[in-house]
Amino acid sequence: MKYLIVGLGNIGEEYTNTRHNIGFSILNALAEASDAVFTPCRYGDKAELRVKSNILVLLKPSTYVNLSGNAVRYWLKKLEVPDENLLVVVDDLALPFGNLRIRKQGSDGGHNGLKHIIQVLGRQEFARMRFGIGTGEKTFNQVNYVLGEWTPEEKDQLSGYIKTATEAIVSFTLIGISRTMSLFNRK
């Protein structure tokens, strides 16, 4: 089976270590653990790896987060990946730092990348994994926070959380979305 795993983030050095780029960071870790290498392609950077008999195509769109739907639509069609084998990895300000929330479908939840993907695909029925970047605070400059770099305390914990996220991606490809949700969704 072939899977398309899309990690959302923004291209450019100024965004590399920001919270908004957690999708890129998670895919980088997954590729690195498998000795897969990202190469430039249409609409982004792409890497392929095998997990048992499955082929995972990892995509980091170069369209910036807010226009990610163009890359997703193109690669779904080009690779002939079934809709149920798409997983989009995004940051989520509403979730506490490090928490994962995996869903089969749903709204954009205020995430502009998901909003554009839904708009371009014309449907909400695709799997997504949200990675919590939230602080629990309600009053602060959200744009600066999301586009800001990780704090030293967050950096200390980040690699463990990213490892869990990569395990959830592999689980999605091996045992499916429902069982993966029950294993990795935490309160």
Of 103, 112, 114, nearest to 181 by C-alpha is: 103
Q: Which residues contact 38 (CB under 8 A, 6 or more apart)?
A: 28, 31, 45, 46, 47, 58, 60
Strand partners, 131: 91, 100
Of 25, 181, 29, nearest to 106 by C-alpha is: 181
Q: Look at the block and give the residue holding tokens 């708009």.
A: 119
The answer to whether the Cα torsion of 182, 171, 186, 82 is positive or negative is negative
Q: Which residues contact 161 (CB under 8 A, 6 or more apart)?
A: 97, 98, 131
- The token pair at 32 is 């690195």
Of the residues 19, 20, 101, 130, only one is catalytic, namely: 20
* 20 labelled catalytic: yes
Which active-site residues does the annotation give? 20
